[in-house]
Structure 1
Amino acid sequence: MSNPPPYREPADRQRVNVYDAWEELYWGEKLGCTAQQLRASVDAVGARVEDIKAYLATMRHKPDPTVHQPR
């Protein structure tokens, strides 16, 4: 994943625009998630950054169903 230039800011600092490739990179880096996770988050809770942060935090605490969990 390439880093966005440090001198550019998103058009709206409170909302994520997943239709802008640069903003998708910026917010993925800022929020510590992949582009796919970011798009899924926007689909689930909308584009507000605070809602996405909260959603990602809850998702990070759930076990991955594709990984075998020991009993």
Structure 2
Amino acid sequence: MSDDRKNTGAPDRDRINLNEDYEVQYWVQTLGITRDELKAAVEAVGPTANAVREHLRK
């Protein structure tokens, strides 16, 4: 089943989906980084939020 684009509540806290604008906005705001920084972090360590947070701390 595909995502319901009308249901834009809080995104899955364990994964970062770069294909959904509302999720990208959430993570950019939550992590205090730019879209480009978020994309680079996800490409470097994968889409899990914990891995991205660890990567950003370095």
Structure 2: gaps of 5 or more residues: 1-7
Structure 1: gaps of 5 or more residues: 1-6, 59-71
Q: CA RMSD in A?
A: 1.3
- Kindly, what percent of the aligned residue pairs are identical? 35
TM-score by length of 1: 0.68
Whichever of the two has the greater Rg, that structure is 1
TM-score by length of 2: 0.82
> Which of the pair is proportionally richer in helix?
2
Q: Which has the higher contact order (CA 8 A, sep 6+)?
A: 2
Structure 1 moving runs of 4+ over 6 Å: none
